[in-house]
Amino acid sequence: MTAARPVDAAFTKRLPKIELHAHLSGSISRQSLHETWAQLKAETPAFSLEDPLTAMPSSKVDYDINTFFPLFSTYIHHLITTLPALTSTTHSVLSSFAHDSVIYAELRTTPRAQPSFTKAEYVSTILDCIASPGHSPLTCALILSIDRSNTAAEAMEVVDLAVRYRARGVVGVDLCGNPARGDVGIYRDAFGKAKAEGLGFCLSCNVHAKLIDGGIGDHHLRWWRGKGCPIALCTDDVGVFCSPLSNEFLLAAEHFKLSRKDLVEICSDSVGMIFGDDEQKRRLRSLLVTFGKEENLALDA
């Protein structure tokens, strides 16, 4: 029977997936970073940053809590310093998700200012990319992150930007950055305002950066699934860890003995967790139902 066929990479690739936790700068591929670097190098020959293909070799994915966060603060963020670079890297992220059959993504990013743009322009430019056609059937929403290195005033600025750009697709705020740093208590007012404004927020951790003990099999997915809790599989930083969402589904199927039907059900559960509106939820559910029929999977109604 079709439903009993084992999960394979082709199945998880074509499965219409929901990405609820991806950091924008961490989702940029090495190739896209390299193209940005080459452009900067051509414009400014004195530009001294190392080529991403050398600084982040494709075989290197073993970043841990000590090396992961400095990768952004000392390197990746120094490559995205112009609005054209932000635009091209954002489009490359959207295109990669679309090619991996992601049908809805909530991208998160910390508003950053540079000499050539303000934090508001940073957010607005990303929203322009998200709104532009060309990545169908992927649709995206934006979550603005408070980084644990932010001051209380900067955190409030993030929430103010989220409120200002809500009508253009900002759906929530989150807390990101090195969990070993800072005192999150200073963000009480900022999160209080986000809550009062009805913005969504969520938090996470992962295996690769050694933010949990053990390996994939020890992930808390097993515990939550056993409790009947809906779960969502997400990538966090596909540009750094090189594990697209389709691969996360494949790993989950292998390590937790999940069937094709289980994986579609995880996607359906994820739909219930999006910050998007009911119309968006209906669109995603309909795509999943169609997929289930095409794959001959006996899904619950």
Ligand X SMILES: CNc1ncnc2c1ncn2[C@@H]1O[C@H](COP(=O)(O)O)[C@@H](O)[C@H]1O
106 sits near ligand X (criterion: CB under 6 A) = no
- 80 near 25, Cβ under 8 Å? yes
Which residue number, 175 or 252, has a Cβ lying nearer to ligand X?
175
Phi, psi of 187 (to 5 degrees): -95, 10
Task: Name the helix (H) or strand (E) containing 205.
Answer: none
Which residue number, 71 or 289, has a Cβ lying nearer to ligand X?
71
Q: Which stretch binds ligand X (CB under 6 A): 18-26, 43-51, 92-100, 214-222?
A: 18-26
- 274 near 20, Cβ under 8 Å? yes
Beta strands in 139-260 (DSSP E): 139-147, 170-176
Q: Which stretch binds ligand X (CB under 6 A): 24-32, 48-56, 191-199, 283-291?
A: 24-32
- Nearest approach, Cβ of residue 78 and ligand X (Å): 11
User: Please, which of residues 231-260 interact with ligand X by CB under 6 A?
Assistant: 236-237
Which residue number, 52 or 292, has a Cβ lying nearer to ligand X?
52
265 sits near ligand X (criterion: CB under 6 A) = no
174 sits near ligand X (criterion: CB under 6 A) = no
d(CA 217, CA 59): 23
Which residue number, 25 or 32, has a Cβ lying nearer to ligand X?
25
- Return the residue of 36, 88, 101, 109 that touches ligand X, per CB under 6 A: 109
- Return the residue of 11, 37, 72, 201 that touches ligand X, per CB under 6 A: 72
Give me the 75-104 binding string for ligand X, x by CB under 6 A, dash otherwise. ------------------------------
214 Rama class: left (phi>0) / alpha (psi -120 to 50) / beta = left
- Nearest approach, Cβ of residue 10 and ligand X (Å): 28
User: Under 8 Å CB-to-CB from 44, ≥6 apart: which residues?
Assistant: none
- Nearest approach, Cβ of residue 298 and ligand X (Å): 36
- Return the residue of 24, 40, 94, 263 that touches ligand X, per CB under 6 A: 24
Name the residue among 182, 181, 202, 199 with its Cα closest to residue 190. Answer: 199
Q: How many residues bind ligand X (CB under 6 A)?
A: 16
- Return the residue of 26, 52, 276, 292 that touches ligand X, per CB under 6 A: 26
d(CA 72, CA 64): 13
Q: Which stretch binds ligand X (CB under 6 A): 21-29, 89-97, 222-230, 249-257?
A: 21-29
d(CA 88, CA 97): 14
177 sits near ligand X (criterion: CB under 6 A) = yes
19 sits near ligand X (criterion: CB under 6 A) = no
Question: Reading across the β-sheet that carries 17-23, which strands appear in turn?
Answer: 17-23, 102-109, 139-147, 170-176
SS3 144: strand
SS3 114: strand
d(CA 217, CA 256): 7
Task: Name the helix (H) or strand (E) containing 23.
Answer: strand 17-23
- Return the residue of 209, 264, 266, 288 that touches ligand X, per CB under 6 A: 209
- 7 near 259, Cβ under 8 Å? yes
Binding stretches for ligand X (CB under 6 A): 23-26, 69, 72, 109-110, 145, 147, 176-177, 206, 209, 236-237
